[in-house]
Every structure is written in C-alpha cells, then in structure tokens.
Amino acid sequence: MNDLAITAGLLLALFLILGSGVWVGLTLTGVAWMAVSLFSSRPAGDAMAVTVWGSSSSWTLTALPLFVWMGEILFRTRLSQDMFKGLAPWVQGLPGRLLHTNVIGCTIFAAVSGSSAATCATIGKMTLPELTRRGYPEHMVIGTLAGAATLGLLIPPSIIMIVYGVAAEVSISKLFIAGVLPGLLLASLFSGYIMFWAVRHPEQVPAADTHMTFLQKLSESRSLIPVVLLITAVLGSIYSGIATATEAAAVGVVGSLVLSAVQGSMNWATFRDAIMGATRLYCMIALILAGAAFLTLAMGYIGLPRHLAEWIATLGLSKWQLIVALSVFFIILGCFLDGISMVVLTMGVLMPTVNAAGIDPIWFGIFIVLVVEMAQITPPVGFNLFVLQGMTGRQLTWIARVTMPMFWLMCVAVALIYVFPGIVTWLPEKMAN
C-alpha cells in the first residue's frame, strides 16, 4: 500500500470517528494506535505510553492550567463587571459610542484571560443587556462582540499560543510579546469599522448619555484599576524578564484571588466553581494534546511530514502562495475542529514545510493564531458563535452572518502582517536586544 492510500485511509478514519461524536482526544489516540499497529514494527502500547507521558509532563505546559484558572476566577467575580463602568464614559464621544466597549472590554479582558470563549462570555454578560437596553442595533452589538472576543486568543497570555509553543518548540514568552502589536492592530480595525458604520448610519446610534467632566470620567475609571494592575503584574513580569510564562501565570492566579477577595466577590462557592471549571477545561485540552502527540509520532513513522514537505516543494509555491494556501486550509479545517485541535493536529506535519520555506516560526505562530481566530466565528464549529447563541437565543446562521465583517477584517490583518512582518517580529527582537 502506498503512502497516499495510507494517509487517505487514516484521514477517513479520523473524520468518521470524529463525526460519530467521540471525544477529539480519544479519536486522535485511536487513529494513532491504528497507524502504529498496522504500519510500524514498534508496539503501539509502548509508543503511546512514552508519548502521552512526555506530552503531559512538560514543564512549559504548566502555564496552561494556571492561565485557564485565572480566567475562570475573573469570569466569576466582580472584577470583570467593573470594566464596563470604567470604560463607558471614555467612548461616548466616538462615532459608534458604547459599541466600542465590546472591543476595548475584550482587549482588556483578553490580556488577563487567554481564552476566546471566556472573553466572549464575560464581556457579553456585561455589554449585551446594557447595549440592548440603550437601543443599539442587535446585529452590531452581537457582531462586534463575536469578532472582538477572538482577541482572547491573540493578546497575551493566550492558551492557543502556549499550545503552539509546545507543539512547535518555540519560546512561549517570545510568542506572547509578538502577539501584542497584532492584537492592538486587530482591535483598531474593529473599532475603525464601528466608526465607519456609525458615520454611515447615524440614525441607528443612540444619543450620548449625560455629559461628564474629565474629573468625573477619572472617578468612574477607578473601577479599572484592579484589572490594569493585574495586567501589569502578569505581562510586565514576562516582558521585563523577571518571570517565565509559567511563573507569570502563577502571579496572575494569586493576583486575581487577592483582588477578588479584597473586593468581596470571592467566596467558597466561587472558588470551587472556578477551580472545577479550570480543571474540566484543562483536562479536555490535555487529552487533546496527548492524543495529538501520539498521532504526530505515528505520522512520523509513516513518513507523512516528510512526504508532505516534498510534495509542497514540488508545487513550487512562493512564500505568499503558501500562506494563502495554509489560510484557506485552516479556515476549512476550522469548520470541523476547534482551534486547539487544529494546532496540535497539524503542527507536526506542517513545521518541516514552514521551516523549509524560510518562514519565521514566531511569525508563523501569530499567523496561525489569526486564522484560528477566524475559525472561532465560522460555522458549524465556531466556539464564539455557540457562546453567543446560548446567551442570545439567536440562530447560529444569523450570528455568523452579522459577524462576517469581522471575519473580513481578520483577513485584512493577515495581509498586513504578511506585507509588514515587523508588526509581529519587532517587539520580540527589541526585547531580545
């Protein structure tokens, strides 16, 4: 049996098992077991035990459950609710007014969360009822929230960056630093779109609230201080070189616990729910990572990464053509898999090709995060769409349609970081010097 037939058979088995509803992690493990058993002389049980233990015991991976836990604490306490109160006075004078709280709120919360779904749910709980009550158009409220919540993946700390860093063996701290400017770029594009829409449809924008003086705005902004302090502690410790990503995650957990306790929003029930929510989410991610590591090993035995790299080399694609092809590939893949599964399933196969094409792995990591962000708002497996459907009761197709402008802005962001790669690489290089 030739390599193409083997690969096609394994891919068919993968999608059939996924389609039957089996957990992603177990599916990856099962397909890898079949590959090793049928096409390798190594005992499958021995290979699985070594690989699963190796992927699960990585010290770098320790940052992941800690950042997840920090996000869960913020999600369940008053820290997140105070953000809307602090942001609202400052955006009243902008075209689109309070719609910008979706973008700015998601940008701020992304800097202490790391999860797109958590960002969407947390900011949505604050802004959806408030903006709807004030008369803002529902399609703009939901569309901008769905798009802006994807910043939870791009602005550090980011769960998907940690997963990519482990899978591609790239510095997680450098990835975090590299995500700052692209994250701010994307947030600016979203806010720019809101302004453009507001100028074209002024009749749909509710009148501004009561005028506030500068001192009154500053007074309202006091509620932002705890979140700003937490962001400064987490990201500042990484950028200054004081702490690794894992140590900074521990700082974030302790800081969020202390701040929520000081505010009086932490109790035993909240603490228990936060740690159980983080445990459930991390166990799901860890199972996917372990299964993907085993499948990557199995693909190595078959020689798939080498053959794929050789095949792509024969196509004679230029760098930009390769990036376009990979963008389309990941957007299509995102219709069937969640972001973490996409990254861990493909990195073992794609990294040899990416390295051979001379693409910077740090730049490629940010590119991957951007295209995975697109997958968060594409049906049928767009996590942000699911979150918003549960919160609003709207049809998934309607939510996807009103979110399409945000999707196209992400495409613009990908084009911009390709044309101007310094947007990604400048900060990591500056920090290294």
pLDDT tens per residue, range 396-433 = 789 889 999 999 999 999 999 999 999 999 988 887 66
The token duo for 112 is: 């202490």
pLDDT exceeds cutoff 60 at 1: no
Radius of gyration over every alpha carbon of the chain, rounded to an integer in angstroms: 22
pLDDT for the residue numbered 413: 94
Report the C-alpha gap between 175 and 183 in whole angstroms. Answer: 12
pLDDT for the residue numbered 225: 79
pLDDT exceeds cutoff 90 at 385: no
pLDDT for the residue numbered 381: 59
Q: What is the signed CA dihedral for 376, 381, 384, 386, rounded to 10 degrees? A: 170
Q: Is the dihedral of CA 354, 358, 362, 366 positive or negative?
A: negative
Angle between helices 268-302 and 24-39 (to 10 degrees): 20
Q: With beta carbons less than 8 A apart as the criterion, state whether 63 and 246 touch.
A: yes
Q: With beta carbons less than 8 A apart as the criterion, state whether 208 and 92 touch.
A: yes
pLDDT in tens, 156-201: 878 888 889 888 888 888 898 899 899 999 999 999 999 999 999 8
pLDDT for the residue numbered 190: 94
Most confident of 3-17, 80-94, 127-141, 228-242: 127-141
pLDDT for the residue numbered 142: 92
Q: With beta carbons less than 8 A apart as the criterion, state whether 180 and 430 touch.
A: no
Q: What is the phi/psi pair of residue 337, to 5°?
A: -130, 155
Report the C-alpha gap between 424 and 433 in whole angstroms. Answer: 16
**What global pTM score does this model have?**
0.75
Direct distance between the N- and C-terminal alpha carbons of the chain, in angstroms, rounded to an integer: 52
Question: Exposed e or buried b for every residue in 288-305, given b needs 16+ CB within 10 A?
Answer: bbbbbbbbbbbbeebebb
Report the C-alpha gap between 345 and 341 in whole angstroms. Answer: 6
pLDDT band at 31; cut points 50, 70, 90: confident
Query: For all residues of the chain together, what is the average pLDDT?
Result: 81
